[in-house]
Chains A and B, each alone.
Chain A
Amino acid sequence: MRLHSRVRLLLVLLSLAAALGLPLLTYAPNRLLTGQGIALLDLLHSGSGLRWLALLPALPLLLAPWWRPGMLRERLVYLAALWLGAALWWLAGSEATLRAGDEDALARVSFGGGFWLLQLLLLLQLAEALQVLAGGLPRRVLLLLLAQLPLLWLLLTGRLDSLSLLREYHNNQDTFDAALLRHVQLVLFSVLPALLLGGALGVWAYRSARFARLLFPVLNVLQTIPSIALFGLLIGPLAWLGRQLPGLGIAGVGLAPALLALSLYALLPVVRGTLAGLQQVPPAVREAARGMGMTPWQIMLRVETPLALPVFLSGLRITSVQAVGLAAVAALIGAGGFGAIMFQGLSASALDQVLLGVLPVLLLALLVDVLFRLLISRLKGADDHA
């Protein structure tokens, strides 16, 4: 047999190392104690034959490096990786039901390092297969989402409910929902003002090179100051302002300083995107529009804006993804959001509570990233067809 894909071989070797060398799950007598590792092989010894069956699709993945390249190989890899990812979740859920299934059981079954590493490697297998199977971003995203359907089914039918992460969720459901709302608020109400102000500043910087030379050093310094320091620096002045102007709801900690700091961070990428977008509009196009008798306003609205939009949106994508992450840090100054759950879990050293705060942040960041990428690719695609 000839080795066809060294990439696949690397992924397979890493997967084997993760599956055999790292604990897949951990078991702890209660939520605060560090768990003992449970290896994948232990799971297979203890459970029914169904568990072996669930892992059967590992075989084509193991053989894939030596398979001849082609659509057939990639389709099989896609299906196998999809199946295996779901099988791992199912294994974790069923083991949790066995060991900590009682409603009031204190014992906790959570994920080990091997679980996350294997899921990541399977995701990379999916991504490799999709490079061949699906051209274009929308189809790739669709196929990746389809691959998550089994997990959704497992979640909805309650087969994962005994896992420690889900137990944390059910115990903190109200906090979780409030955190979700607050996190989305933090991102929206910091990105929107930055969008308006940053857009205006970007247009101004494009019109006046002198203004740009003044503006960018200031924005660069703002972006350089670490988030935790900016939050800290704003507490004093805002608390003072709150004392001078009572009744406006201004305070040193809480929502107001968080929104202010987050908006300041969001400014630089937006301004940079606006300026870069306007600068790449070809002068000939502008010239032609003027020749057709368009007024400066018409040129701005009907020529420059559509042409600058993709680059502008790339700036906005960076801003928004960054804001999702920074909003988590804002919990340190009492702004709430998923960061609050995360830092609470850290101080109690309860890993699953930390995960309950971190995972939604990751998902939210990925979601925002993908949505913007889709939008940008749509705009660019529309250009190519025109």
Chain B
Amino acid sequence: MRPAPRSSALWLSSGLLLALLYLLPHSAGLFAWLFPEVERPLYTQDSFASLVLAHLLLVLASSLIAVLGGVTAGLLVSRPAGREFRPLLDSVLAISQALPPVAVLAIAAPLIGFGEWPALIALVLYGLLPVTQGTLAGLASVPDSVLDVARGLGMGRWRILWQVELPLAAPVLLAGVRTSVVINIGTAAIASTVGARTLGLPIIVGLSGFNTAYVLQGALLVALLAIVADQCFDWLARRLSPHVGAEH
């Protein structure tokens, strides 16, 4: 008997996030009690909901571009026509694997200017890496025998790609997208240091103004947002391959 996909963690974390978003604007008293030394206990410069939206928008936009680019690159070098580019892509991946996301952000900002753009570019660049790796690993995990059977059935190259390779590669590919999105949620928060309006803002403002209450409010929301996103992918992964256990 197959156990039903458990999604309680997803419901719990998203419920917590929504509750926090609803309750935070009314919690000035609580934070005043927790941090008596702080003059303004509640971050009110922006509404938390608008910050969450802006944060999500930045992550979604960058992840979308990264997924399109990463999957395309992975597909191209795994076709016969692009195979000779594989070592080159491997070198690029090996180098960029050692690059910390914050470094990419710091270099992009002064070159492009402050604001949302350097954040978007850094997030796309950094998001590309796990997606490309996931695509390559996913395609490599498709057994040759399956491809032979598909060819024997007279399927064309495009049909094999769409109906055999991509569906079989999907779980590993999805794991790459998951890593990419979760890392980008964190990097987007750090992007507040280069002027992007995200959930990192209360944290940065709080850190520079010694206001621990602001820091806590921003940190709670960022942490929950990342956990909810991760759980969404977990749920999606279970739907795609219910017979495979949770990844360690």
Interface residues in chain A, defined as those with a beta carbon under 8 Å from any beta carbon in chain B = 5-7, 10-11, 113, 120, 123-124, 127-128, 131, 212, 216-217, 220-221, 224-233, 235-236, 239, 252-253, 272, 275-276, 321, 324-326, 328-329, 332-333, 339, 342-343, 345-347, 349-351, 354-355, 357-358, 361-362, 365-366, 368-369
Contacts and interface: CB of A to CB of B under 8 A. Distances in A.
A128 B91 contact: yes
Main secondary structure of the interface of B (DSSP, over half): helix
Contact of A233 (B182, B185, B216): B216
Contacts, number: 154
Given A252-B212, A332-B203, A358-B107, 13 more contacts: A124-B92, A127-B91, A226-B226, A228-B190, A228-B200, A229-B186, A235-B215, A326-B100, A347-B193, A357-B106, A362-B99, A365-B100, A369-B97
Nearest to A227: B186
A225 B95 CA distance: 25
A217 B220 CA distance: 19
Given A131-B87, A226-B223, A229-B226, A362 B103 contact: yes
Interface in B70-97: 84-85, 87-88, 91-92, 95, 97
Interface of B: 9, 34-35, 84-85, 87-88, 91-92, 95, 97-103, 106-107, 109-111, 114, 182, 185-187, 189-190, 193-194, 200, 203-204, 206-207, 212, 215-216, 218-220, 222-223, 226-227, 230, 246, 248
A328 B106 CA distance: 11
Nearest to B229: A224
Contacts of A354: 106-107, 109-110
Contacts of B246: 216
Contact of B189 (A229, A355, A365): A229
Contact of B106 (A10, A252, A346): A346
Contacts of B88: 7, 10-11, 124, 127-128
A228 B114 contact: no
4 residue pairs, one from A and one from B, having the closest CB atoms: A325-B100, A226-B186, A232-B219, A351-B110
B172 to A, nearest CB: 16
A233 B111 CA distance: 32
A216 B247 CA distance: 9
B210 to A, nearest CB: 9
A200 B66 CA distance: 38
